[in-house]
Structure 1
Amino acid sequence: MEANVTPVNAEVKKKSSKFGIALATLTGGIGLAISVITIPFITPAFRKICLPYVPSTTDQIKNIILALKGRSGSVLDVGSGDGRIVIAAAKAGFQADGIELNPWLVYFSKLSAINHGVSSKTLFLRKNLWKYNLEKYDNIVIFVVTEMIEDLIAKFQSELKPNCSIIVCRFPLQNYKPISTIGEGLDTVWVYKTPLMNNL
């Protein structure tokens, strides 16, 4: 015996099917968008040396600008994040560049520089520190984790020009004597000059 399907029931089933497809498409689209946005923030955790995005504090930026006092030339912020250090350096009169792996942060930094009126004095690039040559810079700002210090020293020694100022945040360069230390606690910055001289 065949089931009796009325036109009304068929219409309800058709509408229900369309709603299910639309809901699945919307959910999938939202999931894809979230993945695209979050992947650049998550992938640093899978690298050999992890440098997570942590915004600089106001005091930290003040200490960096103090460390640049009396200096001239160009500034490079390695792992420039949202661009606030680069923008502060540009406002202090430097030509300031930032390199950052996260494309969203690079775009945000460019927009922020425009908003602060310093886009002509800043440059933001999506670059990997280990593949980017530092030889043209007079001042380097970098947040350091202990796992990267050995490789970082070798890169600095081979690429940086004499009398380049290296402003280090988070951790000092072990076994190397800074020419000055500015600030305290998490906002401390250590200033070094090239060629780096080992303490030992």
Structure 2
Amino acid sequence: MNIRAKSFSAFTAIAALALSACAPETSVGAPLSPPLEGATIGGEFALTSEDGETVRWTDFDGQYRIVYFGYAYCPDACPTDVQRTMQGFAQFEQSAPELAAKVQPIFISVDPERDTPEVLTQFTDAFSERMIGLTGTEEQIADVASKFSVYYTKFEANEEGGYLMDHSRISFLFGPDGEPISMLPHDQGADAVEAELALWVS
């Protein structure tokens, strides 16, 4: 091996060591890549907050973000998913408060017809004071759902005018630059959510 080859090998080894010191590792020491790395999920939006103010995706720059799409009148799926997600987040707040302070949980309505800011406030506060709810016009919600690769549809209303929504059930974790990182496994319970947050939030 010549000197140039040896120098290149040494540089490669040092670079790999430096990267491994600041990235999550597998059981064999190789750095993990975020499951959603490079995915085209997320994007700029302008929605209405629980206070009636306009909120944009870039308002959260510098923060990690948990994002779930659902609706406040959901009878079972949304409350279950959000409860497990926020229980996991609460456990993360207990075990790593400084890291949890960098995370903003967000609930985006897919039912803007009924989910007013007041309704969303009641819904999100039932699970965590840290979670904020966002709504908007039907056009705004359709746009943001498309950007976040979220499916939803409205079922036919009953005789009393009530109706259900079908929608994706995913808790996304985004990074400080708005980049998609992972899906939080709320279907596996709070402990699994806490573990996933601990893996990626730094």
TM-score (norm 2): 0.27
TM-score (norm 1): 0.27
Larger RCO: Structure 1 or Structure 2 (Cα < 8 Å, ≥ 6 residues apart)?
A: 2
Structure whose alpha-carbon radius of gyration is higher: 1
